[in-house]
Amino acid sequence: MRILYTLAFFSIFCASNAQSIDRFSIDSGGTSTSAGGIQIVYTIGEVHVAERTSATLSLSEGFIVPQSVSIRVNPIVFLQGPGTDPFAGELGLMRDNLRSADPVLIPTTSPYDSSICDASVFSVTGENAIVDWVFVELRDATDPSVIVASQSALLQRDGDVVSSDGSTSLQFSIPESSYYIAITHRNHLGILSANPVALDNTTTMVDMTQNLSSISGGSLAVVQLTNGQYALIAGDVTPDGQILTTDYLNSLPSIGLSGYLTTDVNMDGQVLNTDILLLTLPNVGRSQQY
């Protein structure tokens, strides 16, 4: 009984101390539903406050509701900038100078959102070494302007787009269905699959380096590297889906700088004429095809 009194007193004490949000979570009954990229979690007998969703978790009014992963996908893309490495490029690998630099230049926080990775993912070398962060969107099969789900991801030298652990396939907690897949990068033009791709709980590989017909806009959307692979177009230094004279001009003041820089479009850690005259300038006039 004393324990009950103590709890009651504690509850009253808490209630009287400037709690501006009701924290009643009466029961876990209810369910959730998803449509068009929005997930609604509703419960029985309580005031709805808010929820937050991530790739694998939904947090609602103090409840943590595990969501089953229903989509696994392994996109494969190449970036023109790091794909121009005259040595590695011929082997079908992108350069990974931003990773192999000491200290590592790739940030552990994604440049696109608050996703983080462990610094240890940058210790992997070889074909699965990390080139940079990319951003992946799954878009509605009937209206590809609608982004159903998205996440930051890591790009390996051989083109595999993997989760932030640096090795496993991407996972999305959305219904098994067909989705367009878009991949964007901080200084390259994004690409969109030409068609929706059927995705389910087993990993589907979506190779966007081999076939122009698999890419929205075809030859307008990508460049072909000397090894034959198609790649995202380098040079969108001021990221707006277009490579304009301004992208070229904005690069000039950073000649000679080193680091993790948008103007370093070949991604070797330095901004040199090779970035500006050999990559960005020839691509002026190109634009994202979706």
CB closer to Ca ion, 181 vs 189: 189
* CB of 12 vs Ca ion, minimal distance in Å: 59
Q: Which two structure tokens, joined as six digits, stand for 24?
A: 């009643």
CB closer to Ca ion, 105 vs 149: 105
Alpha carbon distance 131, 99 (integer Å): 6
* CB of 264 vs Ca ion, minimal distance in Å: 4
DSSP the chain: -HHHHHHHHHHHHHHTS---S--------EEEEEETTEEEEEESSS----EEE-SSEEEETTEEEE----EEEEEE--BHHHHT-TTTGGGT----HHHHSSS--S-SB-SSSS-B--GGGGG--GGGSEEEEEEEEEEESS-TTSEEEEEEEEEETTSBEE-TTSSSPEEE-S-SEEEEEEEEETTEEEEEBSS-EEE-SSPEEEE-SS-GGGBTTGGGTEEE-TTS-EEEPB--SS-SSB--HHHHHHHGGGTT-BSS-TT-TT-SSB--HHHIIIIIGGGTT-B---
* CB of 260 vs Ca ion, minimal distance in Å: 11
* CB of 229 vs Ca ion, minimal distance in Å: 20
* CB of 243 vs Ca ion, minimal distance in Å: 5
User: How many CB atoms within 10 Å of residue 137?
Assistant: 20
CB closer to Ca ion, 191 vs 199: 191
CB closer to Ca ion, 160 vs 236: 236
* CB of 236 vs Ca ion, minimal distance in Å: 4
CB closer to Ca ion, 132 vs 264: 264
CB closer to Ca ion, 101 vs 212: 101
CB closer to Ca ion, 82 vs 144: 82
* CB of 188 vs Ca ion, minimal distance in Å: 11
CB closer to Ca ion, 72 vs 188: 188
- What does the binding site for Ca ion look like in residue numbers (CB under 5 A)? 236, 238, 240, 242, 247, 264, 266, 268, 270, 275
* CB of 102 vs Ca ion, minimal distance in Å: 17
Please tell me the total number of residues recorded for the chain in this structure: 290
